Amino acid sequence: SRGFLGAEPLLGVDADDAPLVYYEALDDATLEGLRQARDLGATQVLASRRALDDPFAALELYREAAGLGSLAAYLQIASLYSTLASVPLENLRGNPQLLRRVSGIRPTAALSAFGWLMAGLRDGGPVIADPVLVDWAQRLFAQLPENQRSAACELSERFLLQVAGLRRNNGLPPFPDSRPPVFLSVPALDEALPCGDTRFPFYTMLDTGDCLAEPAIDGSGRERLLYVCDSD
């Protein structure tokens, strides 16, 4: 699942049978015990429970999950940084410590949001790329000052290497090559995503050269690619 704990209709996993149901039924103490045993799902659910009250603790937990092989964690980190970049500071005045920390990272939060999102797309490539993520990446990139865009693309490579180092420390391959047997993606991903005009263009660490990719139309009428791969 690479950290995607919800339903997977193409793989025949509905919401009632998804791993998320199991983890959400556990209390924090049980999740913490599983997290200490390097359980990826428990680590992510703990992070989601911390996100509102302590977003910085949640960021660390999501980084930990990425170091355990999660692709979903990249996206959650990007979402948290995007929120921290835009949350009205007056909403935090009841928590002076949180206000100080958010104010401290505010100048670079949007840069980090884009960097983590693109790092996840570099890691997972077509397996995780869908129109929503591509649109999000384009929006985040467009919102950055022009003089920061190349740096943001470079940052995505740095985040990718940071996660690779965490995985090595955990005895895992830096870039797992596991793929679902069937998945939908976005055509011409390198053209659809930002960074193409910088020295740090998009590339993916995931090899899909042995997969069959056929044009398809999704339920919203959008052009997609349907990948069929040998099971890992």
The per-residue pLDDT for 63 is: 99
64: Cα separation from own chain's centroid: 13
Tell me the DSSP string of 79-146. HHHHHHHHS-GGGGTT-HHHHHHHHHHHHHHHHHHHHHHHHHHHHHGGGT--HHHHHHHHHHHHHS-G
What is the pLDDT at residue 200? 98
Please say whether the dihedral angle defined by the alpha carbons of residues 9, 12, 17 and 21, taken in this order, is positive or negative.
negative
The single-letter code of the amino acid at 142 is A
d(CA 155, CA 111): 8
pLDDT given at position 7:
64
> What's the token pair of residue 85?
């970049």
- pLDDT of 21 reads 93
pLDDT score for 177: 84
Distance CA 90, CA 28 (A): 30
- Taking the C-alpha atoms of residue 7 and residue 29, their distance in angstroms, rounded to an integer, is 25
Kindly list the averaged pLDDT for each block of 10 residues, start to end, along the chain of length 232. Answer: 77 77 96 98 97 96 98 98 96 95 97 99 96 97 97 98 98 92 95 97 94 94 94 58
Q: What gap in Å lies between CA 207 and CA 189, rounded to an integer?
A: 14
